[in-house]
């Protein structure tokens, strides 16, 4: 009988519990120890046959552990524990998007130097086999776009707002009650979670790391049910999108990577993604357009990806010098990201104005001055002397649109610029 692959599991929350359950009594593996923060906490599984420790560094130092499975989350102490484990010659399986987005290049380099590997399939898209698709399946392609709905919480909120005419606050409350949003939902609704994920996808698709702090982010908190209704009148649905594509900006060739809500044309495959599901749309030079779709979170979908990594790694470590085969084709050179002003988009703009003669003319003049051409204009009266005006523009550089909006904002007939959203082309 072949020797069992020995594992240390760091974290026994939603995902860790799923991982231990899926591994069950699989004769191929031996869980040597599990690290948790609070050993007295009641658990969903029987731990009597496992060694449970409060110190994750013990796993990193245990010479009998071959694979450290990190499902604790956050940077501290996961970053230090993983570095120690790599230095001690252990392979890593992690679900930690924040860690990979912030420290991936450094950890991959450390792993290469110690001839071990890091697998992170669960870090983006939960149960969807996305990392392996980009890393292996699409190697023959030049990728020209990755656009994803990779945050279930915001997609659930936007779906509720659209389907049940709920306000943002009501939909968020329901997401929290259903366990789809944290008590502090900031990372989700302000786009930080998507930024981590699109940074990882961008580095795989374009084979160069980016600095996640430089990724432009706009959250969904300013979107109203009115925007969702108006977008539908124009033939669009509003979705929170992580976008990565190569391009040429004022400063030369670099990457256009950003996170913001977008109007997605109703016929686009991403428009149909509802609730907590995730979907990632990829354009490749040879394959054309593909979309991967499925559950982006949850105990067993995420554990499916983690345990898949463990099984793949366990078969590979039996082979000589296998780690090189799994090295990621990511350069050590960090790629520049466009400033948002240099991106090109069509825009949806909702603003409140006085309902007086000449308002539309004033708007048209400001847009014309800055080279912004209008596609459609819709005027809604909300009171005797006030109007809501909604405009769709043609494609234009963001800085031109912003200059026009600055001028409009200063016009005496403008009450407020409500929301400005980009349109997915």
Q: CB-based burial of residue 86 (10 Å sphere; 0-12 exposed, 13-18 middle, 19+ buried)? A: buried
Q: Please, which residue, 52 or 110, has the CB nearer to ligand NAP? A: 52
Please report how the helices 14-23 and 299-316 are oriented relative to each other, as an axis angle in degrees rounded to 10. Answer: 50
Please report how the helices 192-205 and 97-113 are oriented relative to each other, as an axis angle in degrees rounded to 10. Answer: 40
**Residues 357 and 148: beta-carbon distance below 8 Å:** no
DSSP code per residue over 338-401: --GGG-EEEEEEEEEEE--TTHHHHHHHHHHHTTPPEEEEEEEEEETTEEEEEEEE-SEEHHHH
User: What burial letters (b/e) apply to 410-423, b meaning 16+ CB within 10 Å?
Assistant: eeebbeeebbbbbb
Give the residue at shortest CB distance from ligand NAP: 13
Q: Please, which residue, 102 or 166, has the CB nearer to ligand NAP? A: 102
* Catalytic site positions: 197
**Residues 305 and 126: beta-carbon distance below 8 Å:** yes
Q: Please, which residue, 41 or 267, has the CB nearer to ligand NAP? A: 41
**Secondary structure E strands in 285-331:** 288-295
Q: How far apart are CA 32 and CA 280, in angstroms?
A: 36
Q: How far apart are CA 180 and CA 191, in angstroms?
A: 15
- Closest C-alpha to 65, from 97, 94, 49, 88: 88
Closest CB 310 distance from ligand NAP, rounded Å: 14
Closest CB 15 distance from ligand NAP, rounded Å: 4
Q: How far apart are CA 282 and CA 244, in angstroms?
A: 10
**Residues 263 and 348: beta-carbon distance below 8 Å:** yes
Closest CB 166 distance from ligand NAP, rounded Å: 23
Positions touching ligand NAP (CB under 6 A) are: 11-16, 35-38, 41, 56, 71-73, 77, 95-97, 122, 126, 297-298, 302
Cβ neighbours of 246 (radius 10 Å): 17
Closest CB 145 distance from ligand NAP, rounded Å: 23
Closest CB 10 distance from ligand NAP, rounded Å: 6
Q: How far apart are CA 316 and CA 66, in angstroms?
A: 12
Closest CB 16 distance from ligand NAP, rounded Å: 5
Q: Please, which residue, 125 or 249, has the CB nearer to ligand NAP? A: 125
Q: Please, which residue, 13 or 341, has the CB nearer to ligand NAP? A: 13
Q: Please, which residue, 201 or 419, has the CB nearer to ligand NAP? A: 201
- CA distance readout (Å), 247 to 135, 141, 253, 257, 346: 21, 17, 6, 10, 16
Give the 3-state secondary structure of residue 298.
Answer: coil
Closest CB 219 distance from ligand NAP, rounded Å: 19
Using CA atoms in the order 308, 118, 151, 287, what is the torsion angle rounded to 10 degrees?
Answer: -70
Q: Please, which residue, 13 or 269, has the CB nearer to ligand NAP? A: 13
């Amino acid at each position: 009988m072949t020797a069992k692959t020995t594992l240390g599991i760091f974290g026994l929350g939603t995902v860790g519990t799923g991982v231990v359950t899926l591994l069950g009594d699989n004769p191929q593996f031996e869980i040597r120890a599990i690290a948790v923060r609070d050993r007295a906490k009641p658990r969903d599984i029987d731990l009597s046959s496992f060694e449970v420790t409060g110190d994750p560094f013990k796993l990193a130092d245990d010479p009998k552990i071959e694979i450290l499975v990190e499902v604790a989350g956050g940077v501290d102490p996961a970053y230090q524990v993983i570095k120690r484990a790599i230095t001690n010659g252990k392979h890593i399986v992690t679900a930690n998007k924040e860690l990979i987005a912030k420290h991936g290049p450094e950890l991959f380099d450390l792993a290469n130097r110690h001839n071990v590997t890091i697998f992170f399939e669960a870090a983006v898209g939960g149960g969807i086999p996305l990392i392996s698709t980009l890393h292996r399946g699409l190697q023959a392609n030049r990728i020209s776009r990755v656009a994803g709905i990779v945050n279930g919480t915001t997609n659930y909120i936007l779906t509720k707002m659209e389907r049940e005419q709920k306000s943002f606050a009501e939909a968020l409350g329901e997401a929290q009650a259903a366990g789809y949003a944290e008590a502090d939902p900031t990372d989700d609704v302000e786009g930080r979670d998507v930024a981590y994920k699109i940074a990882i996808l961008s580095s795989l698709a374009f084979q160069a790391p980016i600095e996640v702090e430089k990724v432009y982010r706009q959250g969904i908190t300013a979107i109203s049910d009115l925007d969702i209704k108006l977008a539908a009148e124009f033939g669009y649905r509003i979705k929170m999108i992580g976008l990565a594509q190569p391009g040429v900006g004022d400063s030369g060739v670099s990457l256009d990577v950003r996170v913001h809500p977008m109007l997605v044309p109703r016929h686009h495959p991403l428009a149909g993604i509802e609730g907590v599901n995730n979907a990632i749309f990829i354009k490749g030079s040879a394959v054309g357009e593909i979309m991967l779709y499925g559950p982006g979170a949850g105990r067993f979908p995420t554990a499916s990806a983690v345990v898949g990594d463990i099984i793949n790694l366990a078969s590979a470590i039996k082979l000589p010098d296998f780690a090189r085969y799994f090295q990621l084709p990511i350069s050590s050179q960090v790629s520049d990201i466009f400033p948002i002003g240099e991106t090109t988009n069509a825009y949806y703009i909702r603003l409140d104005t006085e309902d007086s003669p000449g308002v539309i003319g004033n708007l048209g003049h400001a847009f014309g001055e800055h080279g912004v051409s209008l596609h459609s204009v819709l005027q809604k009266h909300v009171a005797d002397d006030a109007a809501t005006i909604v405009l769709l523009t043609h494609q234009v550089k963001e800085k031109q649109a912003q200059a026009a909006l600055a001028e409009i904002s200063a016009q005496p007939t403008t009450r407020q610029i409500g929301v400005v959203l980009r349109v997915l082309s």
